[in-house]
């Protein structure tokens, strides 16, 4: 069979499947269609390699998904009008899944891949793939009220059919011509690069001095096919971001001065584009003008891996760059790497137009400290990361200095803005993450010793009883006439073989004012003290007591007697920030628990999240509609106090 006949047959056979999979991955049908067409253009461009792989679809799908996700990010889960209710419900259930569980679910159900193949294509280990698939199936089934695996498959099949029902495709010959044009273009570019190997996007390997030594791949620019948006060029900004403006290896060697470093640089078109820790999409600005990723690696004498990264993106405007800056910051602040905890957040003063840094602790086989900084200068966003295996301390000052150096290499270009002076790390409140800024997120929780699986959280919801986070001592009730908009959430570690009683719960509510909220916290303090005197418990030890400008934190270790010779230990804390109050309760299971200081830190993080809500509200511009004329003072709400415990 001729190459063209084999390609045409493959295209006709696989295009609908790839469209369905890509649509359900992104929720954006136009982006999915364009991505599928462009992936087939690229497939013909390198057909000899694709055909020889033995599984052309597995070669084309990662490119299709990456391209579609890049475009769909600008309007996430864009839905077509007139969809059947069951298709809309399927899209909503998929949208609620995190990226990795959604990928594994679709690879398993729609691509019909074995678990090992699906995990490999998703870029995760077999164990991680199994966990993501289990979470994806369970949360998807729960969202739609499904019971059997067959129902999961059937609902996805219905939505897939809807995606392809009206699909209109260009003739194979059109795509082959576009692919041939690309091949000719690349041949010309490749020849030019062989003569002048500077300033080019693509893949460049450097030696330890940062000097390019070879060019492993030519520039891979997508040639638009009918219906896809063209690539916009901006000649006046052409020199604003190039490989020469990235950090050289010599600057990163401070992480390991006596080690041999290997450096690679790409335009981030290879693979799935997820290179840096916590990164969730190929580019933060899906409509940007240029983007590069540089990776630095070294191995210590005791076998530990040291990694550093820089990612830089050039946007069309300072406003667009601000969006990219915010996207990178949100990825790091809510890092989705399993068993990774956000330890600290800093403002980085004296660097660019805006800058922030994060310290994350990763547990498990790749345990270590990840320190990351994000900065924006004018139309350019840059990110620097140090990922040091086995480290006990963060690399905050080093990363801040690298961030400042990176900004100074680009700030004076056409697209640059403010430069950097001496960077200063200033502790700041954590950025909002997750579904509800009033509540903790998985990234706030430390790993449980001896448990290899990560925390997972239920969706925030209004409390049903109001006492979800209370103990027998206080019975603090968040369903109360004096508490507005109460919300609760529970965190568990599923499939770890732990008792059903194990878990961490949090409830949060808004009071009429700070004084009423203070009274609620004081009432809990009094009830816990009374509880021990009434012999309801064998001990209630105060393990945390801090006063802040805007509130207070109290944490107890409580042993509850449940039998003649049996007690149950729990940890409970309550914190106030202004008129907001939160209560956190951990019920351990044997050795599956947190150290006292770790739990106190969790309660303090819960307080910080409330303080961040207050800070955001104070910084928001006033609504003229609500400030045009003073309103009559509201009647004060009755003080909300926990109900006294019985017995």
Of the listed ranges 117-131, 217-231, 352-366, 398-412, the least confidently predicted one is 217-231
Q: Give φ, ψ of 572 to 5 degrees.
A: -140, 140
User: What CA–CA distances, in Å, run from 54 to 45, 57, 646?
Assistant: 17, 9, 70
Question: How far apart are alpha carbons 137 and 117 in whole angstroms?
Answer: 17
Mean pLDDT, to the nearest integer, of 375-390?
96
Of the listed ranges 320-329, 391-400, 491-500, the least confidently predicted one is 491-500
- CB of 127 within 8 A of CB of 77? no
Q: Which two tokens stand for residue 16?
A: 């609908």
Question: How far apart are alpha carbons 58 and 65 in whole angstroms?
Answer: 11
Q: Quick count: other Cβ atoms within 10 Å of Cβ 166? A: 8
Which of 121-154 are b and which e, b meaning 16 or more Cβ less than 10 Å from the residue's Cβ? bbebeeebbbbbbebbbebbbebbebeeeeebee
Element (H, E) at 387: strand 380-389
pLDDT attached to residue 348? 97
Q: What are the residue ranges of helices labelled H in 534-642?
A: 596-619, 624-627
Question: Parallel, antiparallel, or unpaired: how do β-strands 503-511 and 483-492 relate?
Answer: antiparallel
User: What CA–CA distances, in Å, run from 3 to 17, 36, 176?
Assistant: 22, 20, 11
DSSP assignment of 197-222 equals -SS--SEEEE-TTS-EEEEEE---PP
User: What CA–CA distances, in Å, run from 504 to 266, 342, 593, 594, 597?
Assistant: 42, 17, 10, 11, 16
Calculate the CA 623 to chain-centre distance.
31
The CA-CA-CA angle for residues 181, 184, 186, to 5°, reads 105
- CB of 136 within 8 A of CB of 105? yes
- Residue 313, strand partner residues: 291, 381
pLDDT attached to residue 217? 24
Helix axes 149-164, 126-144, angle to 10 degrees: 80
Place of tokens 């003080």: 639
Question: How far apart are alpha carbons 386 and 310 in whole angstroms?
Answer: 9
Band (482; pLDDT cuts 50, 70, 90): confident
- CB of 342 within 8 A of CB of 316? no
Mean pLDDT, to the nearest integer, of 77-96?
81
pLDDT attached to residue 237? 58
Of 458, 586, 505, 503, nearest to 138 (Cα)?
A: 458
419 secondary structure, DSSP code: -
Band (204; pLDDT cuts 50, 70, 90): very low
Question: How far apart are alpha carbons 392 and 596 in whole angstroms?
Answer: 20
- pLDDT tens digits, residue range 518-545? 999 999 999 998 887 776 667 889 999 9
What is the phi-psi region of residue 434: left when phi exceeds 0, alpha when psi lies from -120 to 50, beta otherwise?
left
User: What CA–CA distances, in Å, run from 585 to 249, 493, 547, 574?
Assistant: 47, 15, 20, 9
Question: How far apart are alpha carbons 417 and 353 in whole angstroms?
Answer: 7
Q: Give φ, ψ of 27 to 5 degrees.
A: 70, 10
Q: Which two tokens stand for residue 184?
A: 């000719």
Question: How far apart are alpha carbons 65 and 272 in whole angstroms?
Answer: 8
Counting residues of the chain whose pLDDT is more than 70, the rounded percentage is: 83
Q: Which two tokens stand for residue 28?
A: 């954006």
Question: How far apart are alpha carbons 146 and 341 in whole angstroms?
Answer: 32
Mean pLDDT, to the nearest integer, of 454-463?
91
Mean pLDDT, to the nearest integer, of 393-413?
95
Question: How far apart are alpha carbons 73 and 28 in whole angstroms?
Answer: 9
Mean pLDDT, to the nearest integer, of 43-57?
86
Question: How far apart are alpha carbons 240 and 313 in whole angstroms?
Answer: 10
- pLDDT tens digits, residue range 248-291? 999 999 999 999 999 999 998 888 889 999 999 999 998 888 99
Question: How far apart are alpha carbons 593 and 520 in whole angstroms?
Answer: 28
Mean pLDDT, to the nearest integer, of 354-376?
94
- CB of 118 within 8 A of CB of 62? no
Q: Which two tokens stand for residue 252?
A: 């990163």
Handedness of CA 135, 140, 146, 151 (dihedral sign): negative
Q: What is the mean pLDDT of the chain?
A: 83
Structural domains of the chain in order of their starting residue, each with its CATH number = 3-164 (no CATH), 236-427 (3.40.1000.70), 442-627 (3.40.1000)
**How much helix, strand and coil, in percent to the nearest 5, is found in the chain?**
40, 25, 40
pLDDT attached to residue 44? 87
Mean pLDDT, to the nearest integer, of 129-133?
89
pTM exceeds 0.75 = no
pLDDT attached to residue 324? 95
């Amino acid at each position: 069979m001729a190459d063209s006949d084999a390609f045409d047959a493959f295209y006709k056979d696989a295009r609908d499947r790839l469209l369905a999979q890509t649509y359900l991955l992104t929720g954006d049908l136009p982006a999915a269609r364009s991505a599928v067409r462009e992936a087939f253009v690229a497939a013909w461009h390198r057909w000899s390699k694709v055909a020889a792989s033995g599984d052309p679809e597995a070669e084309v799908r990662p490119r299709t998904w990456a391209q579609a996700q890049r475009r769909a990010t600008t309007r996430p889960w864009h839905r077509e009008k007139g969809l059947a209710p069951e298709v809309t419900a399927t899209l909503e259930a998929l949208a609620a899944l995190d990226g990795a569980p959604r990928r594994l679910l679709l690879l398993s159900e729609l691509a019909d891949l074995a678990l090992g193949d699906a995990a490999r294509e998703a870029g995760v280990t077999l164990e991680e793939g199994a966990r993501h698939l289990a979470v994806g199936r369970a949360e998807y089934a729960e969202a739609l009220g499904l019971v059997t695996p067959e129902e999961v498959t059937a609902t996805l099949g219905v939505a897939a059919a809807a995606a392809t029902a009206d699909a209109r495709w260009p003739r194979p010959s059109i795509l082959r011509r576009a692919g041939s044009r690309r091949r000719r273009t690349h041949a010309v570019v490749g020849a030019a690069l062989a003569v002048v190997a500077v300033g080019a996007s693509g893949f460049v390997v450097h030696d330890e001095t940062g000097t390019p030594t070879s060019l492993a791949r030519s520039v891979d620019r997508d040639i638009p096919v009918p219906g896809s948006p063209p690539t916009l060029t901006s000649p006046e900004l052409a020199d604003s971001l190039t490989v020469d403006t990235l950090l050289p290896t010599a600057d990163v060697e401070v992480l390991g001065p006596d080690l041999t470093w290997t450096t690679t640089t790409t335009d981030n078109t290879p693979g799935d584009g997820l290179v840096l820790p916590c990164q969730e999409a190929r580019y933060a600005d899906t409509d940007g003008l240029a983007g590069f990723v540089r990776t630095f690696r070294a191995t210590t004498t005791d076998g530990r891996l040291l990694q550093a990264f820089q990612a830089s993106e050039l946007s069309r405007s300072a406003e667009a760059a601000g969006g990219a800056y915010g996207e990178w910051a949100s990825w790091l602040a809510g890092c989705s790497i399993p068993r990774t905890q956000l330890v600290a957040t800093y403002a980085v003063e004296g660097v660019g137009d805006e800058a922030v840094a994060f310290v994350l602790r990763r547990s498990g086989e790749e345990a270590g400290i990840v320190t990351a900084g994000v900065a924006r200068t004018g139309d350019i966003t840059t990110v620097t990361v140090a990922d040091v295996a086995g480290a006990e301390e963060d690399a905050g000052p080093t990363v801040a200095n690298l961030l400042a150096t990176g900004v100074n290499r680009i700030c004076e270009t056409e697209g640059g803005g403010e430069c950097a002076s001496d960077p200063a790390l200033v502790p700041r409140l954590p950025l909002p993450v997750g579904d509800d800024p009033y509540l903790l997120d998985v990234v706030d929780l430390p790993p449980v010793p001896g448990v290899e699986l990560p925390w997972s959280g239920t969706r925030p919801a209004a409390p049903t009883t109001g006492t979800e986070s209370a103990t027998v001592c206080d019975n603090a009730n968040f369903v109360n006439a004096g508490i507005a908009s109460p919300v609760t959430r529970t965190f568990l570690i599923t499939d770890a073989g732990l008792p059903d009683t194990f878990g961490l719960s949090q409830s949060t509510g808004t009071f009429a004012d700070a004084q009423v909220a203070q009274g609620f916290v004081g009432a809990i303090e009094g009830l816990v003290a009374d509880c021990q005197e009434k012999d309801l418990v064998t001990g209630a030890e105060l393990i945390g007591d801090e006063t802040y400008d805007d509130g207070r934190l109290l944490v107890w270790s409580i042993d509850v007697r449940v039998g003649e010779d049996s007690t149950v230990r729990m940890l409970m804390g309550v914190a106030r920030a202004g008129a907001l109050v939160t209560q956190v309760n951990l019920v351990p299971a044997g050795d599956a628990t947190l150290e006292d200081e770790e739990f106190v830190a969790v309660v303090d993080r819960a307080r910080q999240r409330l303080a961040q809500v207050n800070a955001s509200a104070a910084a928001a511009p006033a609504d003229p509609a609500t400030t045009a004329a003073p309103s009559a003072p509201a009647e004060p709400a009755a003080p909300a106090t926990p109900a006294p415990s019985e017995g």
